[in-house]
Amino acid sequence: MGLPSADPLGMIVRTRYAPSPTGLPHVGNMRAALFDWLLARNAGGTFILRIEDTDRERYVDGGVEAQMEALRWLGLDWDEGPDVGGPHAPYTQSERLALYLEAAERLVANGKAYHCFCTPERLGELRRQQQAAKQPPGYDRRCRALPPQELAERLEADEPNVIRFASPTEGETSFRDAIRGVVTVENRTIDDFVILKSDGYPTYHLASVVDDKAMAISHVFRGDEWIPSAPRHALIYTALGYEPSLFVHLPSILGADRKRLAKRHGSTTVLEYRDAGYLPEAMVNFLALLGWSLDDKTEIIDRETLVRSFSLDRVSATPGIFDADKLRWMNGEYIRALPEDELARRILPFLQRELPETAREPDLELVGRIVPLIQTRMELLADAYPLTAFFFTREILVTADDLLGKRFASEPEVALAALTAATERLGALPDWTHEGIQSALRGLGEELGLKPRDFFGLLRMAVTGSTVSPPLFESLEILGREVTLERIGDAGRTLRPAAG
């Protein structure tokens, strides 16, 4: 049986994302899913979601739902899957056990696999002996040549057992990888691995091969940490008489310290990035560049261009570096490119999540008015809250020290006089517009002999409770005359004791 072609032209593309619900979807998962999706969409093929839930000991409740939620957030829609059905249903491996049992029994009947009765205790002792002797770990094939009568008796007695693949002990096994070409290993390095556990559930090695054949998967995308398992899968393909899928082992994702990405590098589950205020458009763009490139310079690539341009010949074997600063920068670029009404719609849930119950309920119309003031200052959707909270909170709590700062620390009476004058001037404005507010306050600052930075800084603290805020005059226009004057008045009352 030959290896799959390295040239996918003319191939009917069917890719699958097959997560194991043993944890939350992380960056590596979603990068593989994205590449699966991009190749399928580029070729007009089919993208399949398959749930590989055969590791029952590590199964996490909610794991399947989290995987689907992450895919939906990123916009990676699937054509076949557990929830949408398809011609190869069911798409959950725990519902396909009969298929794996049939394949395992066929391999046993053909002499390609065998029943193993070794207990966990014996296997543990074997592993300790190998470690002590500095030998590579692996099964010693004790049950591979059991006498037929003994085998029959033990099976008749329903003695617990697993089924192991009878790996060849001589020669070589090769498989084709779309990125690395043909990879060949010596068979003596491959042990007799388990393909069906004693509980009737298959291991990943058997189940993935059986399902990839049944679902006509053309390309198998996965991380390069699975390269050592690929020869095992190649052997199973051959033993079952299957034409192998084309492997695409994606490069590792490393942190800035050049070590494999882990929790120590910060958020690694994709849904954490969503909750922190990253846009799915930015995350898709960023993930695509972890192992693939459009050219040598383009960083911002929209989804349509990714789909149109994606090809395996631009996938690299070199590890991708997860640069958190670059992701944050990229997210800021996407935020600034959003239409104002769309950014308001995306900001709203973050404000609703963070604002206290006593705050004014944010509404889309108000947030839409605020967006032009903050859009260029944001890198994350979550940045909206600290920039805009003063629009919604009913009270601004500031101390005299907050208001005086360094400039007025020795002249509290000057600060109080400035606030009093601002109240009178703003109260007399005929039209409450940011142009009118700016003109009035600039003129007043000159009359008082105060530098704009000092005067406007005092007013900013009085009205927003912060030294940093969106543009002051536009903010006052949105706040309205009544709220603005009330806050300046409150600040004046806070300063009176200090001003004598």
Rg (CA), the chain: 32
Partners of 14 in beta bridges: 46
Count of CA atoms in the C-beta half-sphere (13 A) of 176: 15
Whole-number Å distance between alpha carbons of 374 and 396: 20
Confirm whether 451 is a catalytic residue: no
Phi, psi for 261 (deg, rounded to 5):
-55, 130
C-alpha closest to that of 226 among 150, 175, 152: 175
Q: Tell me if the bond preceding 90 is cis, omega within 30° of 0.
A: yes
Marked catalytic residue, from 134, 263, 297, 406: 263
Q: Which residues of 337-358 are buried (b: 16+ CB within 10 A; e: fewer)?
A: ebeeeebbebbbebbeebbeee
CB 240 within 8 A of CB 103: yes
The total number of residues shown for the chain amounts to 500
Residues marked as catalytic? 263
